[in-house]
Amino acid sequence: MSFKICLALFLLAGVASGQSLPKSRAQQTAENLVERTTAGFFAINTLKTPLLSTDPCSMIVPCVQKPLPVTLLSFSVERIDDTHVMLLWQTSEEVNNDYFQIERTVNPIAGFQVVGKIKGAASSKSTVKYQTIDPNDNSEYTYYRLKQVDLDGTFEYSSIVAVKGTMVPFSIAAFPNPGQVKTILFKVNGMKAPEQLEITIYDLSGKVVYHNGSQVASADQQYLNLRLPNLSPGKYTIKVQSKQDLGVSSFVVVP
């Protein structure tokens, strides 16, 4: 009996006894393709992980099960007086939260500066409340944001919130007072934009001892060094005039 006839009889005997015939590579490929068209194939197969694995994402690419670092429930700011602003925020969940960085600016387009840092709760599933006070006497709106930083250095920003500026009256004051002529500085308060000022100083008799009609000052550079003449010890009055405001104050010169 030839080899081909023996092979055919062997295969027929396997079918008759209920044993499945070996599948060709082409047939296996075809069946795999058909299996992938069934509902739930990818969801079921991509979620299979080794029984001993502690990482639920070990067999999933890409893994989308990483928890959010911080759930921020609220973030608000309020002015409590002319020189201080309170910031309040709370979280409902934290994962590996290292710290919050407080940043502020008067012009968000120009960027933010760091003004504080508060330690986070690391990991927590309960509500955590935070608050801090920022020294702030800006006369215009100030914008704040939080930078949340994880233990691994990654970070996220909160939304931006704003607080109104202080209503500081226009005025001028001398520092130190009393003071020596060479060390006295004058601070102009209540300016919102650079202005040209007219400054006049009088002695007790009302005589003008100093005058400058073109002194420029701004909200960012309020301290003025007027380079006064050699004034005699005594009390003087200084008057500063802007386009719309007038400020008057007195100071004492000592030897």
Is there a single domain that holds both residue 78 and residue 156? yes
**Rounded mean pLDDT, 182-197:** 85
Task: Return the CATH number at 136.
Answer: 2.60.40.10
Edge-to-edge strand list for the sheet holding 223-224: 171-175, 185-189, 223-224
Looking at the structure, do residues 159 and 175 belong to the same domain, yes or no?
no
Same domain as 159, residue 213:
no
CATH code, domain with 210: 2.60.40.1930
Task: Return phi, psi of residue 211, to 5°.
Answer: -150, 135
Residues 82 and 102 in one domain: yes
Q: Which two tokens stand for residue 109?
A: 């387009």
Q: Answer yes or no: is pLDDT of 173 > 80.
A: yes
Query: Domain tally for the chain?
Result: 2
Q: Are residues 143 and 182 in the same domain?
A: no
| 30 domain residue, yes or no | no
What is the arithmetic mean of pLDDT over 101-128?
92
Range 112-116, long-range pairs (CB < 8 A, 24+ positions): 112/143, 112/145
Q: Output the average pLDDT for the chain.
A: 79
Going by their DSSP bridges, the two strands 155-157 and 128-135 should be labelled as unpaired
Q: Is residue 15 part of a domain?
A: no
Distance between CA atoms of residues 183 and 71, nearest Å: 53
Kindly report the pTM of this predicted structure: 0.46
Q: Mean pLDDT across the stretch 119-131?
A: 90
- Phi and psi torsions of 238, nearest 5°: -115, 135
Instruction: Quote the pLDDT of residue 61.
Output: 41
* 152 lies in the same domain as 211: no
Give the residue from 131, 163, 195 where a domain finishes.
163
In angstroms, how far is the first alpha carbon of the chain from the final one?
135
Pair (147, 79) in one structural domain: yes
Amino acid 85: pLDDT: 96
Residue 22 lies in a domain: no
State which of 135, 163, 191 marks the end of a domain: 163
**Owning domain of residue 205:** 171-253
Same-domain status, 131 and 186: no
* Entry field: residues in the chain: 255
- Cβ atoms < 10 Å from Cβ of 19: 10
Residue 57 lies in a domain: no
pLDDT of residue 216: 83
On whether both 144 and 214 belong to a single domain, the answer is no
Between these two residues, 43 and 220, which has the higher pLDDT value? 220
Residue 170's nearest CA partner among 190, 198, 186 is 190
The mean per-residue pLDDT over the stretch 87-93 comes to 92
Distance CA 29, CA 26 (A): 5
Residue that wins the pLDDT comparison between 119 and 82: 119
52, part of any domain: no
Residue 104: inside a domain, yes or no? yes
Of 163, 185, 201, the position where a domain reaches its end is 163
Asked if residue 144 and residue 74 are part of one domain, the reply reads yes
What is the rounded (10 degree) CA torsion for 154, 158, 159, 160?
-100
